[in-house]
């Protein structure tokens, strides 16, 4: 079977709802310590914690179109901020650049993220165990027991306590590419990186969690940015 054929199958499975239902049934049957090689996509040949993830990531078809487009934005000299790194699937792609900062507050995700980087001997990635917003504070993740997805509650008093920072306050090497996927908190992340957007002018790969979000988000960018709409919930914002 050619790679083109495999790619077509991968795209079909990623969009095929019965496969997603089947994967949810199969996943609990995979032993938690299972490690596999990813057979498809930009992470082809990388090791993955199959027993602690989902079947689509283990097969290399997770967010097929988005991941492939993201991979084309990563260059040998890229400095990438992966905000909402989750288990590290995008971080692995970004590690083909010069440097990647994997920013993730969820304690359960951090354990797997660290394993993924260690298994693949990734030496140019730094994990930052903080949440990102528009102010420096302390907040809570909820639901704290659910992995890999959780949301940041700035006003709550229950869940997993985390340190919150702004991108502008991190003091890292300025980014050339920023991926943001933070379960609906995207506008506050952008509000906390105004100086970074103005001075570094990175490309922003932005995933949203509501359909009417992007017109609001664009108001948080400085002048001179243009938009590429990848799909209804994923935009790429380029500096001009």
Global pTM reads 0.88
Using only C-alpha atoms, the chain has a radius of gyration, in whole angstroms, of: 17
For residues 73 and 33, membership in a common domain is answered with no
For residues 156 and 44, membership in a common domain is answered with no
Q: Which residues contact 1 (CB under 8 A, 6 or more apart)?
A: none
For residues 223 and 130, membership in a common domain is answered with yes
- 203-214 pLDDT, tens per residue? 999 998 776 677
For residues 183 and 86, membership in a common domain is answered with yes
For residues 108 and 83, membership in a common domain is answered with yes
Note down the domain range covering 92. 63-239
Residue 40: phi and psi, rounded to 5, are: -140, 165
Measured in whole angstroms, the distance separating CA 230 from the mean position of its chain's CA atoms is 15
Residue 237: phi and psi, rounded to 5, are: -110, 120
Report pLDDT for 5.
46
- 2-26 pLDDT, tens per residue? 545 445 555 555 555 565 566 666 6
For residues 54 and 173, membership in a common domain is answered with no
Q: What's the structural domain count of the chain?
A: 2
In whole angstroms, give the CA distance from residue 37 to residue 57: 11
């Amino acid at each position: 079977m050619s790679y083109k054929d495999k790619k077509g199958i991968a795209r079909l499975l990623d969009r095929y709802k019965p496969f997603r239902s089947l994967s949810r049934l199969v996943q609990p049957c995979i032993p938690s310590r299972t490690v596999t090689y990813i057979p498809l996509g930009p992470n082809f040949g990388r090791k993955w914690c199959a027993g602690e993830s989902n079947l689509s990531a283990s097969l290399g078809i997770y967010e097929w179109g988005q991941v492939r487009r993201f991979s084309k934005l990563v260059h040998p000299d890229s400095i990438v901020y992966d905000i909402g790194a989750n288990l590290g699937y995008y971080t692995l792609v970004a590690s083909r650049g010069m440097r990647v900062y994997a920013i993730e507050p969820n304690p359960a995700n951090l354990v797997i993220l660290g394993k993924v980087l260690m298994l693949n001997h990734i030496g140019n990635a730094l994990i930052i165990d903080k949440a990102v917003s528009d102010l420096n504070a302390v907040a809570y993740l909820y639901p704290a027991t659910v992995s890999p997805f959780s949301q940041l509650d700035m006003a709550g008093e229950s869940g997993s306590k985390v340190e919150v920072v702004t991108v502008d306050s991190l003091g890292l090497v300025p980014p050339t590419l920023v991926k943001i996927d933070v379960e609906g908190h995207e506008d506050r992340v952008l509000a906390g990186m105004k100086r970074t957007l103005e001075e570094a002018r990175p490309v922003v790969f932005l995933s949203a969690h509501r359909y009417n979000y992007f017109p609001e988000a664009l108001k948080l960018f400085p002048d001179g940015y243009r938009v590429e709409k990848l799909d209804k919930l994923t935009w790429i914002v380029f500096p001009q």
